[in-house]
Amino acid sequence: MVFPTTPTKRPGAAPGPEALVGLLREVRQGRPLSRETACELLRCDEATLPQLLAAARAAKEKYRPAIITYSRKVFLPLTNLCRDYCGYCTFRRDAGEAGAHTMTADEVLAVAREGEKLGCTEALFSLGDRPEARFGEMRETLRRLGYRSTLHYLEAMCELVLRETRLLPHANPGLLSSGWIERLRASNPSLGLMLESTSTQLGAAHPQGRTPDKAPALRLRTLEDAGRLGVPFTTGILIGIGETPADRVDSLLAIRRLHQTYGHIQEVIIQNFRVKPRIPMATWREPGMGDMLRTLAVARLLLRDMNIQAPPNLAPQLAQRTPHVAPQPAQNRHAPETPGVLDGYERLIDGGINDWGGVSPLTPDFINPEAPWPHLADLQRRTAAAGQKLVQRLPVYPEFVGGVVARGGRLAERLRAAVDDAGYARTTVNRRG
């Protein structure tokens, strides 16, 4: 195809609004989005923003028409002890600190069974990175429970949930060796690790010497090892933690390169930083809705047909804050419904997303406890108002289901029972009996 000529610019000068609109027109006609243009679009003015969003929505509808998916889940914070000290994190605890907790098998199973009654199909396991490497108390806890490491305990709890319930585990355990990816794939149809950023210059978010598991090269290695093994993987970027527009684009391009090579990235999350009272970055400015929409739209234009998620409960400047309280893993209930609590989160659809991520009718978001999930009826209503159909998916996307089922075993049996003909979650699942 011969593309129309866009207005020229002086060497070294950023393209003006007219030039950006011309470039967007060419992208909609099929021209790949360049790194340089992507960086400029992240800075585009308010007059250009509607054109950017229109291009992103058009791309979404081309590749993922008329549907927004979500996963109905329970959130299982297996342990919040962590050896890393990220500047944005309120989840982690030191051993002995108020709120520090490692869930028992009974607690894990109780939450999973309660979620099963509410139609959940995903058991999301989140946990701190290698806490036993820093805390003798965690080593003693693992010894008492009968496990050699946190990952061995995670493996056992994933197998427990898979064996005793209809829920499918999805673990986010941090860095993994290829050996551990292979072990966990036996009970997890997909795994997850946020890349966060390829930047090594995020001193506030990743203080030097205090976040050994956040080195981009190590995280990219885990993602690549998963690709070599053909394991469906969720990853994403975290915006607003000190990165530049170029850092965001480079992070998305790194994810795209991995997927182009291995075809295993099932989902890319664009997650915005949220301020919390007790974190070192408590005085930082959060990304606004305009920043989030620009990043989502650029992600859609760069990643094209890949699945892109934005969490509805973190919608910038629109989520009503609740008093910060330390999460209590064994006693969780959905926040009471309040009119307008998340009014406006459906605007994220304008950025070209096709997934809301995991939403729980039972457990809070332990990573962002100040931000309650939207009620599922509200999520459906707002999604429909935006011209999209809300569809419940499993923790593995439809295009990856066949590969997981082909491996056989208990996981394949559970997955076959949970999936419908289109690869999404069955809305009614026969009870075991």
pLDDT digits (tens, 9 = 90+) for 111-139: 999 999 999 999 999 999 999 999 999 99
Give the pLDDT score at 342: 35
pLDDT at 203: 98
pLDDT in tens, 231-281: 999 999 999 999 999 999 999 999 999 999 999 999 999 999 999 999 999
Q: Indicate if the pLDDT at residue 433 is higher than 70.
A: no
Tokens of 180: 């551990």
How many residues does the structure list for the chain?
Answer: 433
As a whole number, the mean pLDDT across the chain is: 91
Specify which residues 358 forms β-bridges with.
Answer: 71
Top-confidence residue, 82 or 329: 82
Q: In the prediction, which pLDDT does 21 show?
A: 94
CB atoms within 10 A of CB 163: 11
Q: Is 279 helix (H, G, I), strand (E, B) or coil?
A: coil
Q: How confident is the model at residue 221 (pLDDT cuts 50, 70, 90)?
A: very high
Cα separation, 352 vs 31, in Å, equals 18
Instruction: Kindly report, residue by residue over 45-56, the tens digit of the pLDDT.
Output: 999 999 999 999
pLDDT at 74: 98
CB 39 within 8 A of CB 90: no
Euclidean distance between the first and the last CA atom of the chain, given in angstroms as a whole number: 59
Report in angstroms the alpha-carbon separations of 26 from 16, 19, 21, 52, 245. Answer: 16, 11, 9, 12, 22
**Among 133-137, 327-331, 351-355, 380-384, which is the least confidently predicted range?**
327-331
| Helical residues (DSSP H) of 310-396, grouped into ranges | 376-385
DSSP state of 370: T
Paired with 72 in beta bridges are 359
Using CB atoms within 10 A of its CB, is residue 77 exposed (0-12), middle (13-18) or buried (19+)? buried
| Local confidence band at 427 (pLDDT 50, 70, 90 cut-offs) | confident
Phi, psi angle pair for 426, to nearest 5°: -65, 135
Tell me the CATH class for 67-73+188-410: alpha beta
pLDDT at 430 > cutoff 90? no
DSSP structure string for 130-193:
-GGGT-HHHHHHHHHHT-SSHHHHHHHHHHHHHHHSS-EEEEE-SS--HHHHHHHTTT-SEEE-
For the whole model, what pTM was predicted? 0.91
Q: Decide if pLDDT at 194 tops 50.
A: yes
d(CA 158, CA 387): 37
Residue 237's φ and ψ, nearest 5 degrees, are -120, 155
Tokens at residue 338, please? 């309040």
Where residue 15 falls (left for φ over 0; alpha for ψ -120 to 50; beta otherwise) is beta
Residue 330: is its pLDDT beyond 90? Answer: no
CA 321/CA 274 separation, integer angstroms = 11
Structure tokens at 403: 């590969």
Average pLDDT over residues 70-96: 98
